[in-house]
Structure 1
């Protein structure tokens, strides 16, 4: 019997894959401030840079705009959004409510496999700190919190968390290297995992609340470095 040929990926699927790639790269560059607030996103230039058509590029930019990282100005273009203190504080409030309740639930249902994965993540964070690799630490930090939210089994809550994290990405990333904060973050994450291991929802919730309070404190201390002004800049 002749083997059936595997169907080639549709153009729509390929465009979505390209849009995902562009989205993640742009989000990282916005987070790192390699694309600072006010930078104009020139679609023609970026299409050439990424080797994609305008369709997947437009999809990626629209997603970033939905998350509050890009401002689309009619008759003008798309610009990297300002870091707005009120947006930051709103996102911190939403994130705290989501994650405190999430770990309370997880403490009552966590499997041994989940705890093993969390332990491995925290150990990797420790290795990143020893290597002074803040990019790696930030990625592991995001993965730690995503892992917890995925364990709740609520795709909508996970999507909401990712949206709040998008707004917090820039100030959180730049507050992370503040003296002592990497090791403090590691210790707070370990306490969260240890609290989940006790199966005590109140202890787990308190551990997460303390962690996010310290994150908020670090971010607030760093907000003065940023301005609401996001006047258009030439893209780098």
Structure 2
């Protein structure tokens, strides 16, 4: 898409989001999660005292699950439902016969979801304050989780038939996506089947970024590759 066309869509997107009773509250959820984590988790850790190593382990799991998995999926869900609504309203059919191709439009939407998810994930991670990653490593973690947004957006657009089906798919997918965050960290070869789950890659990046590991560049690249593969399949189905 041309830059002028991209910029022209932004005000329309904001107006549409404000009018949609289903989606208008969703952008506030990541900030609410970050504030709840900032206020609630430290209080829990103070309550369990210095012997609560298990509680601190679960605080880290909450950190990565909430801000490297759930936040990107929420961003992708908002974009995916907007695309699904446009498909139901016949907008895709109109785009197919304009200079702005449907494929290019969907790619732009997915890219926008990834960028917004990276920014939202980084801001919410810093706001929650559950780790000491620092700005640079927080940016790496946010980048590792961001492809989930594009994958969620194009998956909803490609496979969901309506909004009700889309919500059911999001709920089920979140159950699967949080599994790597609650799985044992050092499961040896038994952890590799989880690599088929897209969220496994940002979770592995998180453990390396917060610990002595140095493999986080591989996990970052793996997350990008898996996310792009899912987006390519969704794009092929939505715009053959």
- TM-score bracket for this pair, using the shorter chain length: 0.3 to 0.5
TM-score normalised over the length of structure 2: 0.32
Q: Which has the higher helix share?
A: 2
Report the structure number with the largest CA radius of gyration: 1
